[in-house]
């Protein structure tokens, strides 16, 4: 029963501290939400620049990375050092060289995974292409040998065929000659009989035509003769009549008989009718037509051409090669690191960031708890009752705690560098300067937040909200694929700039000029937190 009474009192006491309850319930949800967005995102495809890669390897790499051709190797390496690209990939004589920046383990791992996947895909494709090429070459070699053998076989076959063709031509010519002689004799007999009949018919017809023509000519000539004879006789009779009359007149005159002489009429003369003779064609005896009299055309055997066998007439069968051993060279992958090395462990890669985190975390706890106790014990109120200005009080606490913070920072750095042997490429003093500025901002932040806590429990509840997000945002987890609000939120935490500066010096070997921007931001955070802390003391005293 007493236990229940005590539990009741504790519940009422916690309910009285609303800020504590809010941090108790909201802080875990806030941290889980950030973890979900940071760890649930990926960096996506790494950015790479390539030089001299085969087309097949470039295609395979383009599927796994955001690849682009390098303008020049020197320009690509400069982009790699400036972290504008994640890797530079070159190819020479089956040797793949992958140059990585090396300061971000997640990016390096993504590049290695993408390159391994692309090379594996390229190797399979290259192996298939090589196998096909070798099979094609072997097939071509076999086909050439078969063609040579086939050509020799065809030459021998053509020679044998030519011999057989010559023999066949001789035999055909002899047989055709015999048949032609027989055919010529038969044709001569047939022609002789046909010619006799044809000539006889033509001669008989010609004789009939001649007989009719001669008969017609004789009748025409006889008719013309008769007409001419009649005219000649009539003329002669007329002349004769005149002559007789003249002679009679002269006779009468001579005999003393005068007077008119009587008319003298000649007796009529009638020409006899003459019939033309009958013309008959004499019988014609046809001459005998013998074979020598008939000139038959010469009959020659046609030229005999045997078909020739050539290479185009013979096709090679499809060749199925048996199982053969295929050999091809596997490309070797070599990784070159601009910063770090292949033997660098994960701890070496994040050692600088972890050093900054531990310094920031422990300084935050020491400063916050110490300043809180100063306020709870009443020391701060008594100081505020004096004429000392608030900024002087803040600076006093800052410098007083700063001595111990400086010692703690040096011890942590010495232990990690010389005891744990973390990789330190740059200057030891630059690392120390960065850690001191980071510790200063943590000290100022711790004293600032302690002003809003009533006890140690409330101060510790600031850790999930202030410290844990800084661990997630400082660079241990790559934020390239995270939402934009996460990337923007990471810019308001001091540890982001401190971790970037420590990584730049420890792994990249950056100088003061390379980290000066980060150092200025850390110094700015320190000044800002000190001024806000001095302003927060107004609730304790107003000037």
Residue 437: pLDDT band with limits 50, 70, 90: very high
Strand pairing category for 87-91 and 66-69: unpaired
- Supply the pLDDT for residue 450: 81
pLDDT in tens, 230-249: 777 778 777 777 787 777 77
pTM: 0.57
CA–CA dist 96, 92 (Å, integer): 7
The residue with tokens 């002899």 is 174
Rounded-to-integer distance, Cα 396 and Cα 383, Å? 11
| Residue 90 phi, psi (nearest 5) | -120, 160
Give, as one character, the DSSP assignment of residue 475: T
Mean pLDDT for 199-217 is: 76
pLDDT of residue 309: 47
pLDDT tens, 127-172? Answer: 677 777 777 777 778 778 877 777 777 777 777 777 777 777 788 7
Checking if the pLDDT of 30 tops 70, the result is yes
Ramachandran category for residue 274: left, alpha or beta (phi over 0 → left; psi -120 to 50 → alpha)? beta
Pair of tokens at residue 513 = 């000029």
Q: What is the pLDDT of residue 483?
A: 81
What's the pLDDT score for residue 154?
Answer: 72
pLDDT in tens, 61-89: 888 888 888 888 888 888 888 778 888 88
Decide if 450 contacts 457 (C-beta within 8 A).
Answer: no
H or E segment to which residue 291 belongs:
none
First to last CA, the chain: 52
* CB count in 10 Å sphere of residue 117: 15
Predicted local confidence at residue 528, as pLDDT: 92
Q: What is the mean pLDDT of residues 354-377?
A: 81
> If we measure between CA atoms, which residue out of 435, 446, 439 comes closest to residue 364?
446
The confidence score (pLDDT) of residue 164 equals 78
Rg (CA), the chain: 70
Q: Counting every residue, how long is the chain?
A: 543
Give Cβ neighbours of residue 80 (< 8 Å, ≥ 6 apart): 49, 86, 87, 88, 99, 100, 101, 338
Express as a percent the part of the chain with pLDDT over 70: 79
Of the given ranges (436-440, 441-445, 469-473, 490-494), which has the lowest mean pLDDT? 469-473
For helices 428-450 and 494-506, what crossing angle results, to 10°? 170
Of 69, 47, 71, the residue nearest 58 (C-alpha): 69
Range with the poorest average pLDDT among 3-17, 152-166, 345-359:
3-17
Would you state the pLDDT for residue 119?
84
Burial of 64 (0-12, 13-18, 19+ CB in 10 A): buried
pLDDT in the model for residue 489: 83
User: Which residue is it, tokens 């802080």?
Assistant: 27
Distances (CA, A) of 384 to 418, 446, 535: 44, 19, 13
> What are the strands of the beta sheet with 47-51, ordered from one edge?
66-69, 47-51, 87-91, 95-100, 332-337
299: CB partners within 8 A, 6+ apart: 180, 183, 184
pLDDT score recorded for residue 303: 58
pLDDT for res 522: 92
Strands 332-337 and 66-69: unpaired
Give pLDDT, residue 311. Answer: 44
Overall average pLDDT of the 286-313 stretch: 53
Whole-angstrom Cα distance, residue 306 to residue 165? 6
Q: How is 504-541 classified by DSSP, letter by letter?
A: HHHTT---HHHHHHHHHHHHHHHHHHHHHHHHHGGGT-
Comparison of pLDDT for 533 and 288, the residue scoring more: 533
Q: Give the CA diameter of the chain.
A: 237
Alpha helices in 314-389 (DSSP H): 346-376, 379-384
pLDDT attached to residue 524: 93
Do 303 and 165 form a contact (C-beta atoms < 8 A)? no
Quick check: 287 and 271 in contact, CB under 8 A? no
Question: Which residues lie closer than 8 Å to 318 by C-beta, 6 or more apart?
Answer: none
Q: Higher pLDDT residue, 39 or 415?
A: 415
Cα within 13 Å of Cα(462), Cβ side? 20
Binned at pLDDT 50, 70 and 90, residue 543 comes out as very low
More confident residue, 391 or 49: 49
Per-residue model confidence (pLDDT) at position 7: 75
Burial of 386-406, coded b for 16+ CB within 10 Å and e otherwise, reads: eeeebeebbeebbeebbeebb
- What residues form DSSP beta bridges with 68? 49
CA–CA separation, 15 and 146 (whole Å): 99
* CA-angle at 11, arms to 8 and 14, nearest 5°: 150
Could you read off the pLDDT of 387-405 as tens digits, one per residue? 777 777 778 878 887 888 8
Most confident of the ranges 279-288, 423-432, 475-484: 423-432
Cβ neighbours for 456, distance < 8 A, ≥ 6 positions apart: 369, 372
The DSSP H or E segment spanning 9 is helix 2-16
pLDDT above 80 (res 58): yes
Q: Which of 338, 342, 344 is nearest to 80 (CA)?
A: 338
Q: Is 485 exposed, middle or buried (0-12, 13-18, 19+ CB in 10 A)?
A: exposed
Q: Bridge-partner residues for 90, per DSSP? A: 51, 97
Q: Which of 170-179, 267-276, 350-359 has the lowest mean pLDDT?
A: 267-276
Give the separation between CA 75 and CA 73, rounded to whole angstroms: 5
Q: Both tokens of residue 440?
A: 């200063």
Average pLDDT of the residues in 34-46:
72
The mean pLDDT of 464-479, rounded to a whole number, is 79
Residue 429's nearest CA partner among 319, 515, 520, 348 is 515
| pLDDT range class, residue 423, cuts 50, 70, 90 | confident
The model's pLDDT over 502-517, given as tens digits with 9 standing for 90+, comes to 888 888 888 898 889 9
Mean pLDDT of the chain: 76
Model confidence pLDDT, tens digit, residues 307-336:
554 545 555 555 555 555 555 566 778 888
What pLDDT does 123 receive?
79
In whole angstroms, give the CA distance from residue 529 to residue 151.
Answer: 97
Q: Is the pLDDT of residue 121 over 60?
A: yes
């Amino acid at each position: 029963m007493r236990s229940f009474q005590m539990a009741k009192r504790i519940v009422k006491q916690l309910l009285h501290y609303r800020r504590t309850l809010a941090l108790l319930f909201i802080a875990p949800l806030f941290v889980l939400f950030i973890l979900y967005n940071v760890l649930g995102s990926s960096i996506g495809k790494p950015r790479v620049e390539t030089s001299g890669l085969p087309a097949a390897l470039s295609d395979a790499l383009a599927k796994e990375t955001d690849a682009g051709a390098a303008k020049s190797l020197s320009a690509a390496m400069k982009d790699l050092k400036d972290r504008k690209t994640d890797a530079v990939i070159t190819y020479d004589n089956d040797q793949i060289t992958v140059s990585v920046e090396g300061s971000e383990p997640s990016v390096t791992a993504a590049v290695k995974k993408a390159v391994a996947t692309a090379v594996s895909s390229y190797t399979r494709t290259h192996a298939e292409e090589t196998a096909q090429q070798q099979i094609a070459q072997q097939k071509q070699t076999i086909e050439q040998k078969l063609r040579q053998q086939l050509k020799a076989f065809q030459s021998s076959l053509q020679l044998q065929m030519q011999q057989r063709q010559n023999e066949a031509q001789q035999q055909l010519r002899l047989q055709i000659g015999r048949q032609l002689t027989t055919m010529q004799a038969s044709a001569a007999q047939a022609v002789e009989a046909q010619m006799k009949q044809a000539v006889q018919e033509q001669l008989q017809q010609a004789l009939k035509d001649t007989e009719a023509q001669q008969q017609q000519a004789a009748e025409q000539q006889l008719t013309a003769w008769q007409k001419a004879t009649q005219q000649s006789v009539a003329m002669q009779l007329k002349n004769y009549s005149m002559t007789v009359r003249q002679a009679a007149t002269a006779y009468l005159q001579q005999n003393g008989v005068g007077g008119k002489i009587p008319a003298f009429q000649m007796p009529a003369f009638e020409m006899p009718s003459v019939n033309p003779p009958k013309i008959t064609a004499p019988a014609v005896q046809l001459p005998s037509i013998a074979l020598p009299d008939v000139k038959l055309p010469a009959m020659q055997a046609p030229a005999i051409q045997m078909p020739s066998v050539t290479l185009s007439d013979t096709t090679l069968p499809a060749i199925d090669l048996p199982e053969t051993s295929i050999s091809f060279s596997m490309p070797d992958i070599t990784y070159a690191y601009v910063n770090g090395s292949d033997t660098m462990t994960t701890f070496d890669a994040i050692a600088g960031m972890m050093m900054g985190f531990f310094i920031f975390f422990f300084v935050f706890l020491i400063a916050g708890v110490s300043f809180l106790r100063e306020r709870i014990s009443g020391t701060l109120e008594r100081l505020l009752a004096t004429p000392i200005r608030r900024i002087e009080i803040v600076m006093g606490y800052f410098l007083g705690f700063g001595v111990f913070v400086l010692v703690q920072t040096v011890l942590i750095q010495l232990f990690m560098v010389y005891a744990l042997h973390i990789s330190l490429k740059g200057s030891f003093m630059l690392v120390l300067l960065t850690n001191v500025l980071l510790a200063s901002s943590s000290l100022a932040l711790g004293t600032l937040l302690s002003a809003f806590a009533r006890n140690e429990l409330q101060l510790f509840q600031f850790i999930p909200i202030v410290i844990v997000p800084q661990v997630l945002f400082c660079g241990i987890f790559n934020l390239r694929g995270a939402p934009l609000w996460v990337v923007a939120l990471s810019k308001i935490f001091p540890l982001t700039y401190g971790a970037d500066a420590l990584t730049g010096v420890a792994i990249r070997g950056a100088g003061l000029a390379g980290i000066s921007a980060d150092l200025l931001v850390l110094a700015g955070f320190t000044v800002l937190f000190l001024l806000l802390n001095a302003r927060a003391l107004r609730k304790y005293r107003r000037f």
